[in-house]
Each structure stands twice: as C-alpha cells, then as structure tokens.
Amino acid sequence: MLLKAGKPETTPHKGESLNSTDTVEAFSYLETRIGYWAISSIVMYLSAEAASGL
C-alpha cells in the first residue's frame, strides 16, 4: 500500500504493472506474517504477565 501511495501519478506499462503487483503482494504477505508474529508475541507476553501477576 505504501508503494502505491508513493507514486500516484505514475501510470505503469504492462510489464511494470506485473512487477509492481508482485512487489505489493510480497510486501502484503510480509506484513501479514509480521502482523501475526507481533500479535502472537503480544498475546504470549500478556499471558505471561497475567500468569506471574496471579
């Protein structure tokens, strides 16, 4: 999403369109994986804090 917003005025050609789509998909995939990791880490941390608090 950041890449698309970075070049709003640029109209890609056929070849570039495929490349930027692949790049955006790769970043979206990474963001999803990092998001899941961050959420699970936060949940684990809060669970540990709650367990030690009890």
DSSP class per residue in 2-54: HHHHH-SS----HHHHHHHHHHHHHHHHHHHHHHHHHHHHHHHHHHHHHHHH-
pLDDT score recorded for residue 19: 61
Q: What is the pTM of this model?
A: 0.41
2-38: buried (b, 16+ CB within 10 Å) or exposed (e) per residue? Answer: eeeeeeeeeeeeeeeeeeeeeeeeeeeeeeeeeeeee
Say if CB 2 and CB 24 are below 8 A apart: no
| pLDDT, tens only, 2-51 | 555 555 555 555 555 556 788 888 888 888 999 999 999 999 999 999 98
pLDDT score recorded for residue 11: 54
- Domain definitions of the chain by residue range: 20-48
